[in-house]
């Protein structure tokens, strides 16, 4: 499911990615957060790439239209902000997993910003990710940047009727 089911390479890619992700999560973070992190990444894969990673690569446009629905945008945005909070409290070894969630947030902001005509929206999660690199990051500023991104992504409607009719 994660890699795709259209060819033999899809399940192989999915098995390698899921096995590696579970192993990294088990080694780097506490067991209470481990299942949450892996589960949320699986939810991301299923919603953003319903045909698997191979399907995402072959038909790039399907993932971008997922954020056309504001409710899906909010759900995915919140689902990817929550683990960042938990991972940032873990040891420094958990940073690679945190980067994955920041990358998903950047992708969501890029796709939603492109859909509604606010291309600068992608800059907000990038700024949040840059702030998280600081050893003792200003959490209030990071939260404000992400809240602005979420609200701006919801306030505007698509800029033209063609974008609005996209499934």
The pLDDT tens digits of the residues spanning 69-87 come to 888 888 888 888 888 877 7
DSSP of 52-79: HHHHHHHSTHHHHHGGGSHHHHHHHHHH
pLDDT given at position 59: 65
pLDDT given at position 9: 66
Helix, strand, coil shares, percent, the chain, to 5 = 80, 0, 20
Q: DSSP state, 36?
A: H
Segment 11-35, tens digit of pLDDT: 777 777 777 777 777 777 767 777 7
pLDDT given at position 163: 47
Record the pTM: 0.75
- Other C-beta atoms closer than 10 Å to the C-beta of 94 total 22
Q: Which residue has the tokens 């909010």?
A: 74
Residue 164 above 50 pLDDT? no
pLDDT given at position 87: 78
Q: Report which secondary-structure segment, H or E, holds 6.
A: none
Tell me which of 14-23, 52-61, 118-127, 141-150 is least confident. Answer: 52-61
């Amino acid at each position: 499911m994660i890699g795709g089911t259209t060819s033999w390479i899809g399940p192989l890619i999915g098995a390698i990615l899921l096995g590696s992700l579970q192993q990294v999560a088990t080694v780097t973070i506490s067991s209470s957060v481990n299942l949450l992190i892996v589960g949320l990444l699986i939810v991301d894969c299923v919603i953003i790439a319903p045909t698997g990673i191979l399907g995402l690569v072959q038909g790039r446009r399907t993932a971008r239209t997922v954020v056309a629905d504001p409710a899906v945008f909010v759900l995915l945005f919140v689902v990817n902000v929550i683990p960042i909070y938990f991972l940032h409290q873990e040891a420094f070894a958990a940073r690679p997993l945190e980067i994955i969630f920041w990358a998903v947030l950047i992708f969501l902001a890029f796709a939603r910003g492109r859909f509604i005509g606010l291309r600068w929206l992608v800059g907000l999660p990038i700024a949040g990710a840059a702030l998280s690199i600081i050893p003792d990051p200003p959490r209030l500023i990071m939260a404000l940047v992400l809240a602005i991104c979420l609200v701006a992504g919801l306030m505007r409607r698509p800029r033209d009727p063609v974008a609005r009719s996209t499934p």
